[in-house]
Amino acid sequence: MLLRLLVLLVLALSGTVGEAIAQTPSAFPSRPVHFIVPFPPGQATDILARLVAERLTATWGQQVYVENKPGIPGMIAGHNAAPDGYTMTIATSGMLVVNPSVYDKLPYDTLNDYTFIGGLAITPMVVVVSADSPYKTLADLIEAARREPGKLNIGYGGINNTQHLTGEYLKYVAGVNMVGITYKGSANAVTDLLGGQISILVDSLAATLPQIKAGKFRALAISTLERVPQMPDLPTVAESGYPGFESIGWQGLVVPKGTPPDIVDKISRDIARLLADPQMQARLIDKGMVPDPRGAGPWSQFVRAELAKWTEAAKRANIRATE
């Protein structure tokens, strides 16, 4: 009887120790991991998530599954998950900083519901016109807008999103009056620029690069502080007369608040190594993105600064949304 009790005690302790070991950072992950993507399949963030999931599956020896939960429900699911590192959210500038800047009320809180793992990619915004447009540079465009206030229209590949705020931010810093036209998505905006329904478009490089390469669009300026590898000859908005101008879309990883710091650090380090790989960098650049290997600390500071910037920009442009 005593022997049997000892055996049961040893088995029980072994299970407890084994479970504890499985949760240590060195053993993480010991089971499949899930990425929540708050966008539908095929969208740029979904493509990025699948590239990262494929590489992490190989690195970790555990399957990383991608779950598409579009919109705010995805962000809610992301912060309601267990804080153990096994459910992560591929969050974007739109979800983390633009939504809180323009919506009166949200069922999630960027700073209080999530722990920041690190960056994944930057999606530059670009100012484009049709190839037959008279505007050769951003300076040409701004000069025309000043000559005839309210005559030019400028399209945005979305409403209350990074594209929308980028265009309004540009109008503000340049001191010009152009009529903003919002679209439900990039596809419709690109179609209308091709068809001549709008004069100018502010959208992501990922959405416009195919038409730029095909010679149908002329890019006037990129929204990053530095030039991008896809178009090294294209000047930035900052170089074009507006020093310090930066307006970018971006993606990164977040986990629920309360996730152990050691696990956050391990994921952050593994992601940074993944993004340092030349093949991975080439794949992201080909998709119109720029790799962003910032770890948890620097990326957290970046997100906080972006939230403050876009809150102020939305206030200046009087952009508010209720639903």
pLDDT over threshold 60, residue 22: no
Q: In this predicted structure, what is the pLDDT of residue 37?
A: 94
62 and 117 assigned to the same domain: yes
Cα–Cα distance measured from residue 34 to residue 56, given in angstroms and rounded to the nearest whole number: 11
- 7 is a domain residue: no
Based on the domain organization, do 128 and 96 belong to the same domain?
no
143 lies in the same domain as 97: no
Find tokens 């493509």 and name the residue: 47
Tens of pLDDT, residue by residue over 152-176, are 999 998 887 888 889 988 999 999 9
Asked whether residue 46 is domain-assigned, the answer is yes
Considering the domain architecture, whether residues 141 and 203 belong to the same structural domain is answered as yes
- Collect all residues with Cβ–Cβ distance below 8 Å to 124 and sequence separation of at least 6: 204, 205, 222, 223, 224, 228, 248, 249, 288, 290
* Judgement on whether residues 92 and 133 belong to the same structural domain of the protein: no
**Is pLDDT of 2 > 70?**
no
Q: Are residues 211 and 285 both part of a single domain?
A: no
User: Average pLDDT over the chain, rounded to whole?
Assistant: 89
- 2, exposed or middle or buried, with CB in 10 Å at 0-12, 13-18, 19+? exposed
Same domain, 215 and 290: no
pLDDT value for 24: 53
- The answer to whether residue 256 sits within a structural domain is yes
- 313 versus 280: which is more confidently predicted? 280
Q: How do residues 258-312 score in pLDDT, each as one tens digit?
A: 999 999 999 999 999 999 999 999 999 988 899 999 999 999 999 999 999 889 8
Q: Name the one residue in this structure whose structure tokens are 């990922």.
A: 206
Is the domain of 149 the same as that of 213?
yes
> Which residues span the domain enclosing 214?
124-222
**49 and 107 within one domain:** yes
Q: How many domains does the chain have?
A: 2
Give the CATH number, domain containing residue 193. 3.40.190.10
Give the Cα separation of 298 and 295 in Å (integer).
Answer: 6
> What whole-number distance in Å separates Cα of residue 288 and Cα of residue 228?
9
Per-residue pLDDT at 25 exceeds 70: no
On the question of pLDDT at 27 being above 50, the answer is: yes
Reported as type and span, the H/E element at residue 28 is: none
Structural domain contains residue 238 = no
The pLDDT value recorded for residue 43 is 76
Contact 285, 51 (CB under 8 A): no
Same domain for 252 and 116: yes
CATH code where residue 102 lies: 3.40.190.150
131 with 270, same domain: the answer is no
Does 104 reside within a domain?
yes
Residue 257 has pLDDT above 50, yes or no: yes
User: Highest mean pLDDT: which of 5-9, 71-75, 202-206, 300-304?
Assistant: 300-304
Write down the pTM of the prediction. Answer: 0.78
Q: Residues 319, 168: contact at Cβ < 8 Å? A: yes
Cα(235)–Cα(237) distance, integer angstroms: 7
The pLDDT of residue 323 = 59
Over residues 214-237, the pLDDT tens digits come to 999 999 999 999 999 999 999 999
Question: 137-155, pLDDT tens digit by residue?
Answer: 999 999 999 999 999 999 9
- Residue 47 within a domain: yes
Q: What percent of the chain has pLDDT over 90?
A: 72
Are 253 and 111 contained in the same domain?
Answer: yes
Instruction: Give domain status of residue 10, yes or no.
Output: no
Q: What is the pLDDT of residues 186-208, one digit of tens each?
A: 888 999 999 999 999 999 898 89
Domain for residue 190, yes or no? yes
Q: Are 274 and 117 in contact (CB under 8 A)?
A: no
Residue 13 has pLDDT above 50, yes or no: no
